[in-house]
Amino acid sequence: MGVSGAGKSTTASALADALGWPMLEGDTLHSDANIRKMSAGTPLNDTDRQPWLEEIGRRVRLWTDEGGNGVVTCSSLKRHYRDTISGGSCKVCYVYIQGTQAEISPRLTRRTGHFMPSTMLDSQFSVLEEPGEDETVLFVDVNATPQDIVSASLKVLGALAA
C-alpha cells in the first residue's frame, strides 16, 4: 500500500516472486469510468472507489477462504479502504511503502504507461490516513530497495504465520 509512485507494483512483483504467490495488480480492477476520471486528472471519491475496493476484498477473501495467499497492490489510503479489503481479517498484512511527497513526486513524474497523472499526487496525500497500531502493517521506507522491502516482509510474514 501507499500513494501512487511509491513503488507498490515493483515491490509486489518481487515479493510475489519470492513467495511463489499469485499477484493481483489492483489498478486492473478499476472500472472504465474510474480510469477515465483519473486520466482526466479528477480524483476519485469514496463512492467511486467503493466497488473497486469491494472487488479487491472479494479476491483477497477467495485466496484466504481457500487457504491460499496472494499479493495485491492497492493504495489503501484510508482506514475504511483497508477494512473493506481485509474484511477485518488479521490474515491480511499491509506493507506500507511510506514516504514524503517530496520523495515520491520525482518518481511519479518519471513513470510512464500509467493512467494516473503525476498531478494527482496532492489528492492522494490529502486523503492518506496513516495506518494505526491496531492494524497488521509493516512500515517500510520508500527509499529502501525493493529487495530490502521483500526481506523485511518475509520476516514479518513468517512471524505472522507462526
Residue 106: per-residue pLDDT: 82
> Does the residue 156 lie in any domain?
yes
> Does the residue 102 lie in any domain?
yes
C-alpha cell at 92: 491480511
Domain residue limits at 60: 8-161
> Does the residue 35 lie in any domain?
yes
Q: Where are the beta strands (DSSP E) in the chain?
A: 23-25, 71-73, 94-98, 137-141
Residues (pLDDT < 50) of the chain are: none
One DSSP character per residue, 110-136 reads H--S-SS-GGGHHHHHHH--PPPTTS-
Residues 153 and 138 sit within 8 Å (Cβ to Cβ): yes
> Does the residue 3 lie in any domain?
no
pTM of the model: 0.88
Cell 514516504, residue?
99
Domain with residue 123: its CATH number is 3.40.50.300
Residue 15: per-residue pLDDT: 93
CA-to-CA distance for 74 and 96, rounded, in angstroms? 10
> Does the residue 26 lie in any domain?
yes
> Does the residue 1 lie in any domain?
no
CA-to-CA distance for 142 and 61, rounded, in angstroms? 28
- Number of domains the chain is built from: 1
CA-to-CA distance for 11 and 71, rounded, in angstroms? 10
CA torsion sign, 18 to 21 to 25 to 26? Answer: negative
Nearest residue to 27 via CA among 16, 38, 19, 17: 38
> Does the residue 2 lie in any domain?
no
The model's pLDDT over 128-143, given as tens digits with 9 standing for 90+, comes to: 999 999 999 999 999 9
Residue 118: per-residue pLDDT: 57
